[in-house]
Homo-oligomer: A and B are copies of this chain.
Amino acid sequence: MAVLALDVGGTKLAAALVDEAGTILRQARVGTPADPWPACLDLLQQVQGDAGVEGVGAGCGGPMAWPAGRVSPLNMASWQDFPLRERLRERWPGVPVRVHNDAVCAAAGEHWLGVGRGVDDLLGMVVSTGVGGGLVLGGRLHDGPSGNAGHIGHVVVEPDGPRCGCGGRGCLEAVARGPAVVAWAAERGCTAHDGRELAELAGAGDAVARAALARAGTAVGRAAASVAALLDLRLVVVGGGLSLSGAALWGPLEQAFHDQARLGFLTGAAVVPAFLGADTGLLGAAALVLQGDRYWSAA
């Protein structure tokens, strides 16, 4: 059995043919064009080739109407209320077609094949252009009534902190999303243009870059500890572009987590980097259909 997986992001599209063991048989990527649907179709047909497929799973940036799979990604102006699930169903009729939030897919991927393998309860976080997440509770993906469970990005970490795109203030996303971290550093004279440059400068000892990543790491660690206490978790997995920033991020992140996760039942709790790297989203999208109802609770 093999399925098609699609990962739709604001800057890139990726598709893969994935077998039931989670092996990526073929994959393809492209920058996200202004009109993404023809490019999605192209990529999917390219990786399918003449293989038969028994389902299609897709991850896409939120928000979306779920489980209908009508998507309105924040950073894709041309897709507003786009019927992604319906379009995929029309093209691949007769097989399961499932669409979920990309950060939720990443959590599912890490649970299925990554560092969360065999762990019944975890939070998976993606710290990137935004900050998102997904929850596995009792061995199954927890969707929430509208499919929006996992929104760790809107846990308040700095009550008097910056305004957030959601309308609130001091949300984790407002503090720790890559562009916010870079902007915070730039205001203090740092020349980095993106998260990768910021991490390089921090690695070379730049004080402002280090302070910017420390602030973000502390916020991530604190939110992770709060959720671990709330949900009785022993594992939080952190992926996404900014999570690749090395010790300048991870030192303060782990410190904040362990300083805060002190209740007896949190003994042994850990916050760790995602394992599957750039493939997490694709494998999670595949998991929506390959793993029965473990990562899918809807019709």
Write the residues of chain A forming the contact surface with B, with a CB cutoff of 8 angstroms: 63, 120-121, 135, 137-138, 142-152, 154-159, 166-169, 222-223, 225-227, 229-234, 259-265
Contact = CB atoms under 8 A, between A and B. Distances in A.
A142 B149 contact: no
A154 B263 contact: yes
B232 A147 contact: yes
Contact of A145 (B151, B155, B232, B263): B232
- A-B pairs, top 9 by smallest CB distance, nearest first, are A144-B232, A167-B262, A154-B229, A148-B232, A155-B226, A168-B260, A149-B232, A148-B265, A151-B229
A264 B148 CA distance: 10
B232 A168 contact: no
A19 B226 CA distance: 38
B145 A230 contact: no
A229 B137 contact: no
A72 to B, nearest CB: 9
Given A63-B263, A143-B232, A148-B232, 12 more contacts: A63-B264, A137-B142, A138-B145, A144-B232, A148-B265, A149-B231, A151-B232, A154-B260, A156-B222, A157-B159, A166-B262, A168-B262
B154 A63 contact: no
A159 B222 contact: yes
Contacts of A233: 144
A152 B263 contact: no
Given A145-B120, A167-B262, A230 B155 contact: yes
Given A121-B144, A149-B231, A225 B168 contact: yes
Given A137-B137, A169-B260, A231-B149, A226 B144 contact: no
Contacts of A150: 230
Contact of A227 (B148, B157, B230): B230
A291 B261 CA distance: 33
A229 B148 CA distance: 8
Given A63-B265, A168-B259, A265-B63, A155 B232 contact: no
